[in-house]
Amino acid sequence: MRIRLGKHVEEALKNNQPIVALESTIISHGMPYPENVETALKCEETVLKNGAVPATIALIQGEAVIGLSHEEIDYIGRRGLEVVKVSRRDLPYVMAKSLDGATTVSATMILASIAGIKVFATGGIGGVHKKAEVTMDISNDLEELAQTNVCVVCAGAKAILDLEKTLEYLETKGVLVLGYGTDKLPAFYTRTSEYDVNFRVDTPKEIADILKYKWEMNLNGGVLVTNPVPAEYSLDENVMNKAISEALAEAEALNITGKKVTPFLLAKIKDITGGESLKSNIQLVLNNCALASKIAAEYNK
């Protein structure tokens, strides 16, 4: 396999240090340059400050790199939308063609698992899109959570999705959905939704214990930890619902489908909210990085 460990990740694995995987789609497709690179580096700093080693994952000229250097993060950030957005399906093609690729939740989980990394921090997972009963647009992230042994820390599913159907899909696949300090599913930009998580947990140790028992019993698959955006960065639910409705209507009018949907919607919502959604997005990712680091540290004990 064309896989390379960053030196800092290789050392951390040798020394049995806690490691947190970080995706790269947020760098290439989630934010404009230079905010994308600045945010990626802040994520790494946050992981370090909270007692773990960061492993940002991407493909560079077909090689899967687990633990990008700062120069490689800048390279992915500068190339932006020219970088292929890579899920499970795309990994072999991008490797065989020696292309640059930014990993989604599913591809990041796969590569983290290969390296033996058990905890991964992201912004929000993909899920069941609105009108999926017609379009069948369901993110591969959900299937990956059903089969790959990685704990994913997020701020819930992206608010542009059908949250109720996303939870139903996860239930069908046997994926445990935990709420960190909350009984309700966070909705990415907002701290709550009308939907319940499976169980509330209040400490990183509780989560680490759950991971231990799950995987010791060979109950394969991930665990989804949903961590609400910090209160001061939570956006008004009515404002967000209006912005999402506008963005969805425009995407439908322009016949935007497939991989292009999420980046289009996030960019449109950023414009509608005057940049407030981007500020919220950055803060919730950093918040998830801090929690993921604490979980990784507890799991390593």
Candidate from 150-154, 189-193, 266-270 with smallest mean pLDDT: 266-270
How large is the average pLDDT for residues 189-196? Answer: 90
With 70 as the cut, is the pLDDT of residue 257 above it?
yes
The pLDDT value recorded for residue 103 is: 97
The yes-or-no verdict on residue 153 having pLDDT over 80 is yes
At 259 the pLDDT is 66
Domain ranges (residues) in the chain: 3-300
Mean pLDDT of the chain: 92
Task: Please give the average per-residue pLDDT across 287-301, as a whole number.
Answer: 97
More confident residue, 192 or 265: 192
pLDDT at 97: 97
Residue 240 pLDDT > 80 = no
23 is annotated as an active-site residue = yes
Three-state secondary structure string covering 107-174: HHHHHHHHHCCCEEECCCECCEECCHHHHCCECHHHHHHHHCCCEEEECCECCCECHHHHHHHHHHCC
Residue pLDDT, tens place only, 161-181: 889 999 999 999 999 999 999
pLDDT of residue 188: 84
The CATH label, of 3.40.50.300, 3.90.1570.30, 3.40.1790.10, 3.40.50.10480, for the domain at 3-300 is 3.40.1790.10
Confidence tier at 280 by pLDDT (50, 70, 90): confident
pLDDT at 108 exceeding the cut of 80: yes
How many angstroms separate the CA atoms of 119 and 296, rounded? Answer: 6
Out of 44, 85, 144, 158, pick the active-site residue.
Answer: 158
Predicted local distance difference test score (pLDDT) of residue 175: 98
Residue 159 scores a pLDDT above 80: no
Which tens digit of pLDDT belongs to each residue from 41-77? Answer: 999 999 999 999 999 999 999 999 999 999 999 999 9
Whether this prediction's pTM lies above 0.85 is answered by: yes
Q: pLDDT tens across 210-235, in order?
A: 999 999 999 999 999 999 999 999 88
Report the alpha-carbon distance of residue 243 to residue 248 in Å, rounded: 9
Alpha-carbon distance 283 to 172, whole Å? 31
* C-alpha–C-alpha distance, residues 104 and 26, integer Å: 8
Q: What distances in angstroms separate CA 204 from CA 178, 181, 210, 291, one per listed residue?
A: 11, 11, 10, 7
Residue 181's closest CA among 156, 199, 158?
199
Query: What is the C-alpha separation between 161 and 34, in angstroms, rounded?
Result: 27
Which of these is catalytic: 23, 44, 144, 298? 23
DSSP string, the chain: --EEE-HHHHHHHHTT--EEEE-SHIIIIIS-TTHHHHHHHHHHHHHHHTT-EEEEEEEETTEEEES--HHHHHHHHHHGGGSEEE-GGGHHHHHHTT--EEE-HHHHHHHHHHHT--EEE-S-B--BBTTHHHH--B-HHHHHHHHS--EEEESSB-TTB-HHHHHHHHHHTT-EEEEET-SB--BTTBS--SSB-SEEE-SHHHHHHHHHHHHHTT--S-EEEE-PPPGGGPPPHHHHHHHHHHHHHHHHHTT--GGGHHHHHHHHHHHHTTTHHHHHHHHHHHHHHHHHHHHHHHHH-
Q: Give the pLDDT mean for 273-297.
A: 91
pLDDT at 112: 98
Q: Are 17 and 251 in contact (CB under 8 A)?
A: no
| 71 among known catalytic residues | no
